[in-house]
Amino acid sequence: MRHYELVFVLKPTLTEEEMASKVEQIKNLITSNSGEIYNEEKWGRRTLAYPIQHFNNGYYFILNFKTDNSELPGKLEYNLRLDEDVIRFLNFKIKPPKKEKEESTETAGSTESA
């Protein structure tokens, strides 16, 4: 199972309903191609480091997902490139997050040996 993190920026001219619809559309694309979203964050409106398509601000979102489908990242990037409301995106492979049980046993083991 491969884990990915998708960061994307939407145009600041979108309404709340349009933004919610666009995020839902991206999430549906991931889940319909055998992906499983396990973390979703909305960073909100932020100032861009430099103007992109004449915009100085954008709405940032992060989606963490995992999949066995090796074609999903390519399909996702293709669809994001075609979408005019997405002004920038970055999709990259990450290490799987540690489980909470593993972390609690590791911290318990380190306190016992001290």
48-86 tens-digit pLDDT = 999 999 999 999 999 999 999 989 999 999 999 999 999
pTM score: 0.81
68 to 1, 3, 14, 82: CA distances (angstroms): 5, 9, 33, 24
pLDDT band of 98, cuts 50, 70, 90: confident
**Backbone CA torsion sign across 23, 27, 30, 33:** negative
Q: Residue ranges of the alpha helices (H) in the chain?
A: 16-32, 72-82, 100-113
Q: Angle at Cα 93 formed by Cα 61 and Cα 78, nearest 5°?
A: 65
- CATH number of the domain that residue 7 is part of: 3.30.70.60
The domain total for the chain is 1
**Residue 89, domain extent:** 2-113
Q: How far apart are the first and last CA of the chain?
A: 36
Work out the percent of the chain whose per-residue pLDDT is above 90.
Answer: 82
105 has pLDDT over 80: no
Query: What was the pLDDT predicted at 114?
Result: 47
